[in-house]
Amino acid sequence: MAYVKKFKYARFFFCCAAILALAACGSGGGSSGGPNTSSSSSSSSSGSNAPSNFDYAGMFANLSDEIFIPTYTQFANNAAEFASDTGALDTYCESLGTQQEANNLASARSSWTELMLTWQKAEVFQFGPVTDNSSRDRNIIHGYGKSTGLDTCLVDRNVIRAESEGFDISQFVNSSRGLGTLEYLLFNENLEHTCAANETDTQAWNARPASERQVARCNYAKLAASDMSNFAASILSDWTAQGDNFRTELVQSANPEEFLQGLSDAIFYIEKVTKDIKLGIVTGIKQIGSGDDFCANAACPERVEFPYSTASLESIKTNLETFWEIYTGSEGSGFDDIISAAGMPQINQSFATDVTAAIEFVDSMIQSDTNLLDEAQTILSSAQAQQNCANSNSNPEAAEVLKACALHGLTKRISDRLRTDFILAVQVDLPAGAQADND
């Protein structure tokens, strides 16, 4: 049972469930949407430090064996199957124009979704080899959150270029590779290109027969899938004894504090990407950055992570669940054990409340078919919608007019607690770029 320890605060959860809607179970349910101030102040005044005799090697071994390596293994295996001659993608491409096309497309989309959600787990523990070369391998698999995010025009151009002999996808930037590219090619049913009218490569594309364009897009999707599979295998190899064996380096490190800081930085993904970009930028709550990377409009629907498959909320849910799995160590040692050993178990209870509330809320959004793209477009449409969003963010339980904004508020409680209680108890620093959070 993978969730035995993950929900070891079960009694606390059941207690909270009965009163979450009224009092947020001590998680700061007021208009600020912030952390439990009594918990923060009590831990701050304790002066406790993370225990020097804690078994960090055991924690790293547990997380590696129960979460990190299994996730990379599953992703590498699924990516290889997806890219294979007998995989769902090839099966769909071979069935174009037949009675099996629709069913095989549905299967290919389902396989992509499973692959994407597996990678969403890995997104939350970006440390170690996957961060080498400015996170090159990660950004090729999924460049979301970077300035090299999906460029649909470049994908359209490469679909055409790939029809010529000698085309090499590895010569092109991340924005025309990986999961986002595959989503665009599999889920976007509009076969017209997305480039400007004066783009030379695509001048004749829209006039070509639909069947030709489908075949061309399928062929490029197969190249992108194979490319991604290669990088998935490389990342897995970095961790295993058959490759660079990073697991051993991690577990046997003479300087565990360095890796503890690296892992702590990684789980701040919940703030820096899940909250700030997937929700904050999209809804306009967080207006950061400049140039092409971010926008400063009232909302930014174009920044939705998966606009064609509408899988963005499933992605966020997986991020939250994986954060909690790492925090608790699943069935073994995790950050919660460091915090308990430091004499501050109330922090774990507060995190449990906040994470549970966010997961349950996003799950309710998924069950009710809430579309993140639609909500972002609604926010952009009027000043009243923007005010409703601000209210929902500030007081998620009382104002759910715009659920994406309420989810941002619930996720902010987790990140606020990371910035205060967590770094105090675990004795780590805030990651670079996370020193200010004014949303």
pLDDT tens digits, 368-379: 999 999 999 999
Considering the domain boundaries, does residue 246 fall inside one?
Answer: no
CA 10 vs. chain centroid, Å, equals 26
| Helices of type H across 95-188 | 101-123, 132-141, 152-161, 178-187
Residue 240 and residue 69 in contact, taking contact as beta carbons nearer than 8 Å: yes
Nearest to 184 by CA among 162, 205, 210, 153: 153
Claim to verify: residue 42 and residue 70 sit in the same structural domain: no
Name the least confident of 13-17, 212-216, 393-397. Answer: 13-17
> In angstroms, rounded to a whole number, what is the distance separating the alpha carbons of residues 242 and 238?
9
The mean of the pLDDT values for the chain is: 88
Report residue 289's pLDDT band, with 50, 70 and 90 as the boundaries: low
Claim to verify: residue 161 and residue 279 sit in the same structural domain: no
Residue 318, token pair as written in the block: 């997986």
Predicted confidence at residue 52, as pLDDT, reads 75
Q: Tell me the CA distances in angstroms from 175 to 154, 168, 205, 292, 391, one per residue in order.
A: 7, 15, 20, 13, 35
Average pLDDT over residues 267-291: 87
Claim to verify: residue 72 and residue 31 sit in the same structural domain: no
Residue with tokens 């449990």: 352
Using the 3D structure, point to which of 178, 208, 228 is the last residue of a domain.
228
Contacts of 375 (CB under 8 A, 6+ apart): 283, 402, 403, 404, 405
> In angstroms, rounded to a whole number, what is the distance separating the alpha carbons of residues 35 and 421?
9
Considering the domain boundaries, does residue 341 fall inside one?
Answer: yes
Report residue 14's pLDDT band, with 50, 70 and 90 as the boundaries: very low
Predicted confidence at residue 10, as pLDDT, reads 46
Whole-number percent of the chain with pLDDT over 70: 85
> Does the CA dihedral 85-89-95-97 come out positive or negative?
negative
Contacts of 400 (CB under 8 A, 6+ apart): 392, 406
Claim to verify: residue 218 and residue 89 sit in the same structural domain: yes
Report residue 265's pLDDT band, with 50, 70 and 90 as the boundaries: very high
Helix, strand, or coil (residue 438): coil
Average pLDDT over residues 347-354: 98
Average pLDDT over residues 214-221: 98
Q: Say how many C-beta atoms besides its own lie within 10 A of residue 245's C-beta.
A: 13
Claim to verify: residue 162 and residue 272 sit in the same structural domain: no
Helix (H) or strand (E) holding 256, with range, is helix 256-267
Using the 3D structure, point to which of 196, 228, 260 is the last residue of a domain.
228
Most confident of 8-12, 49-53, 322-326: 322-326
Report residue 296's pLDDT band, with 50, 70 and 90 as the boundaries: confident
Using the 3D structure, point to which of 171, 201, 228 is the last residue of a domain.
228
Report residue 17's pLDDT band, with 50, 70 and 90 as the boundaries: very low
Considering the domain boundaries, does residue 234 fall inside one?
Answer: no
Q: What's the pTM?
A: 0.88
Average pLDDT over residues 77-101: 98
Predicted confidence at residue 143, as pLDDT, reads 93
Predicted confidence at residue 1, as pLDDT, reads 34
Considering the domain boundaries, does residue 262 fall inside one?
Answer: no
Per-position b or e across 302-331, b if 16+ CB within 10 A of its CB: ebbbbbbbbbbbbbbbbbbbbbbbbbbbbb
Predicted confidence at residue 3, as pLDDT, reads 37
Claim to verify: residue 81 and residue 205 sit in the same structural domain: yes
DSSP for 264-298 reads HHHHTHIIIIIIIIIIIIHHTS-----TTT---SS
> In angstroms, rounded to a whole number, what is the distance separating the alpha carbons of residues 376 and 204?
34
| Tally of domains within the chain | 2
Claim to verify: residue 115 and residue 206 sit in the same structural domain: yes
> In angstroms, rounded to a whole number, what is the distance separating the alpha carbons of residues 419 and 34?
11
Considering the domain boundaries, does residue 300 fall inside one?
Answer: yes
Considering the domain boundaries, does residue 198 fall inside one?
Answer: yes
List pLDDT tens digits, range 106-119.
Answer: 999 999 999 999 99
Predicted confidence at residue 99, as pLDDT, reads 98
Helices 312-328 and 372-381, interaxial angle, to 10°? 110
Claim to verify: residue 413 and residue 346 sit in the same structural domain: yes
Predicted confidence at residue 432, as pLDDT, reads 85
Classify residue 426 by burial, with Cβ atoms within 10 Å: 0-12, 13-18, 19+: buried
357 pLDDT more than 80: yes
29 pLDDT more than 60: no
Nearest to 75 by CA among 147, 138, 128: 138
Q: State which residues form the domain around 146.
A: 56-228
Considering the domain boundaries, does residue 322 fall inside one?
Answer: yes
Considering the domain boundaries, does residue 64 fall inside one?
Answer: yes
Claim to verify: residue 220 and residue 272 sit in the same structural domain: no
Average pLDDT over residues 331-335: 96
Claim to verify: residue 300 and residue 421 sit in the same structural domain: yes
Claim to verify: residue 43 and residue 65 sit in the same structural domain: no
Residue 360 and residue 410 in contact, taking contact as beta carbons nearer than 8 Å: no
Claim to verify: residue 209 and residue 298 sit in the same structural domain: no
